[in-house]
Chain A
Amino acid sequence: DAKTTQPPSMDCAEGRAANLPCNHSTISGNEYVYWYRQIHSQGPQYIIHGLKNNETNEMASLIITEDRKSSTLILPHATLRDTAVYYCIVRAMNRDDKIIFGKGTRLHILP
C-alpha cells in the first residue's frame, strides 16, 4: 500500500504558485520523499526528491516539515503545461527499492 495521502484534485490559476500537499506520517528515517507527475497519455516524469532538507531544482521546490511527516511541492509559476497528476512517493534509497504509486493529486491549471 502507498504510504502517502494526497488530496484527489486541486485547481491553480496560471502564473500563480501551485502548492501540492502530501502527508507521510509513517515515514522511516531512511526513506526519501519523491515527487513524480504524469501528464495525460505520457509516462510519469521525475520532479524532485528530498530527505529532510528543502530542495529546489529547475522544475520545483520541495518543502519537508521538520518532523518529516508531511511535505509540499511548489511549482512557483504554474503554466497550462503543468496540468497533470502529481504523485508523492516515499521510498528508501537502496538498490532494490521500487516505486509504489498512490492515487496522486490531479492538478488543473486554470487560464
Chain B
Amino acid sequence: SAVISQKPSRDICQRGTSLTIQCQVDSQVTMMFWYRQQPGQSLTLIATANQGSEATYESGFVIDKFPISRPNLTFSTLTVSNMSPEDSSIYLCSVGWGNNEQFFGPGTRLTVL
C-alpha cells in the first residue's frame, strides 16, 4: 500500500489566480495520476504525471491550464491556472505500480470565488 498526502487540504482562491497542489507518497511509485471531482459528480481523470517528461493529458484538459510536474518517483504537483468558479472541485492525486491496486490521496478541496 501507499500513504499519500496532499497539500493544501483545502483553499479558497480568487478568480484569475493560480494554485499549486502537491502530492507526496511515502514510497516510490511507477504511476501518478491527477483527477478532478466536481461537486456531486464522479471522478474525471485530468492527466498522467510522467517522471522526467511531460504529462499525458486526457481529452478536454490542456497543459496551459493544468501544468503538472513530477521531478521524482514520490512527488508531483498540479497547478490550476487562471482559475474561474468552474474550477471549484476536489483535486485528487492517485498512485500505483501499473499492476494491481491504485491508491488515492485525501484530495484538495478548491473553492474559487
**Secondary structure at chain B's binding surface: helix, strand, loop or mixed?**
strand
Q: Do B107 and A43 touch across chains, with their CB atoms under 8 A apart?
A: yes
C-alpha spacing A2/B15, complex, angstroms: 32
Complex alpha-carbon distance, A46 and B101, angstroms? 7
B82 within 8 A of A: no
Contact between chains at A43 and B44 (CB < 8 Å): no
B98 with A43: CB separation less than 8 A:
no
Chain A, interface SS category: loop
Q: CA of A49 to CA of B96 in the docked complex: distance in angstroms?
A: 15
A-B contact count (CB 8 A): 49
User: Is there contact, CB below 8 Å, between B99 and A93?
Assistant: yes
Residues of A within 8 A of B (CB): 41-46, 49, 85, 87, 93-104
> With A43-B92, A43-B106 given, is the CB distance from A87 to B98 under 8 Å?
no
Cβ-closest chain B residue relative to A95: B98
On whether the beta carbons of A44 and B104 are closer than 8 Å, the reply is yes
By the criterion CB–CB under 8 Å, are B42 and A103 in contact? Answer: yes
User: Are B45 and A99 closer than 8 Å at their CB atoms?
Assistant: yes
Q: Residues of A contacting B33 with CB < 8 Å? A: 98-99
Checking A41, A46, A49 against B103 with a beta-carbon cut-off of 8 angstroms, the contacting residue is A46
Nearest B-chain residue to A89, judged by Cβ? B102
Is the beta-carbon distance between B30 and A95 smaller than 8 angstroms? yes
Asked if B102 and A87 sit within 8 Å, CB to CB, the answer is no
Pick the residue among B30, B48, B92, B107 that contacts A98 (CB under 8 A).
B48
